[in-house]
Amino acid sequence: MKNIITFTFASLLLTTAACAQSPVFTSLSSTGGTIFAGVKLESKGNEPETYLIKVSSAEMTSDKIALPSDISHREVVALFPAEKNLLVVMSQKTVEQGDKPQFHSFDTSKKEWKKLAEADCVSFAKLKVEKEAVTFVCVETNAKGDEVENMKKVSLKGVTLTQPGEITLPLAKIEKDAVKAELLGDSFEWKELKVGVDKKEKVFRP
């Protein structure tokens, strides 16, 4: 069996791992791979909208994927590859405080979106990714005014993630073999994705 390496990218999260279960995200090897990222598109006078961009590092081409309209103004905070051609997108409105992160799955074959869950955690930087759940190390201020860390687990309703591990946000750079990718702009409001393969380099926008 061919050793397939997944190279996924989040608005700030990047993950790289061996992952034969999710061929969709594929094949980052010496011949290239696929990179997903959440990037903001500003249109003059309007609130910026977020899109996923999918870059083929072999061909250095990209596709723009619109988010569902009810989350199109949110920021993509993390992306998780999952079984059955799914990509799990975690989004949050990072303007002002109080918004709870939402999880949606995107079926990369059928191009279908589905809302999975909402996390009862506003402020966080660390995530523990398990096969069917994500646990937030949630930073909260209690009634006494002390800051405490509470663990908050969110079940992803039967979706199986393929890259368990611990993540500290934001992550904006990934590098695997000859491929490098970097999100450019402010954290979670990234505007561009720079991808380099060997000596070739290209900047992608939605």
Partner 1 sequence: MKKFILLSTLSVLFIPFSEAACPDGKTYKVHFTFDDGPKSALTPRVLDVLKEEKVPATFFVLGEYFEGGKKNPATKSAYAILDRMKREGHRIGSHTYNHIDHPLYSAARVKENIMKPNPWLKDYLSPVLRLPYGGGSFRSKNPATQAKNDMVMNTVKKAGFKHVGWDIDTNDWDAKKRPTLLPTMLRDICREKGGVVLFHDVQKNTVEHLREWIKAVKKEGHTFGPLEDFVPEAKKPLPPEACGEDSTLKGVKDLEGDVGKVLEKIKVKE
Give me the residues that bind partner 1 (CB under 8 A), please: 12, 43, 45-47, 69, 72-73, 77, 93-99, 122-125, 139, 141, 143-147, 169-170, 186-188
Judged by beta carbon, residue 21 or residue 72, the one nearer partner 1 is 72
CB nearer to partner 1: give 14 or 197: 14
Contact 89, 103 (CB under 8 A): yes
Give burial (CB, 10 Å; 0-12/13-18/19+) of 1: exposed
Name the minimum Å distance from CB 67 to partner 1: 12
Nearest approach, Cβ of residue 96 and partner 1 (Å): 5
Question: In this complex, which beta carbon is closest to partner 1, that of residue 26 or of residue 102?
Answer: 102
The smaller minimum CB distance to partner 1, of residues 47 and 132, is found at 47
Closer residue to partner 1 in complex, CB, 69/109: 69
Q: How far is the CB of 1 from partner 1 (least distance, A)?
A: 37
When the beta carbons of 116 and 172 are compared against partner 1, the nearer one is 172
For residue 60, what are the contacts with CB-CB under 8 A and spacing of at least 6?
A: 195, 197, 200, 202
Q: Shortest approach of partner 1 to residue 46 CB, angstroms?
A: 5
Sheet holding 61-66, edge to edge: 34-41, 49-56, 61-66
- Min separation Cβ 147 and partner 1, Å: 4
Of 69, 171, 155, 72, the C-alpha closest to 117 is 155
List Cα–Cα distances, 122 to 89, 111, 185, 189, in angstroms. 16, 29, 22, 17
Angle at 201 between CA 107 and CA 4, to 5 degrees: 45
Question: Shortest gap between Cβ of 174 and partner 1 (angstroms)?
Answer: 17
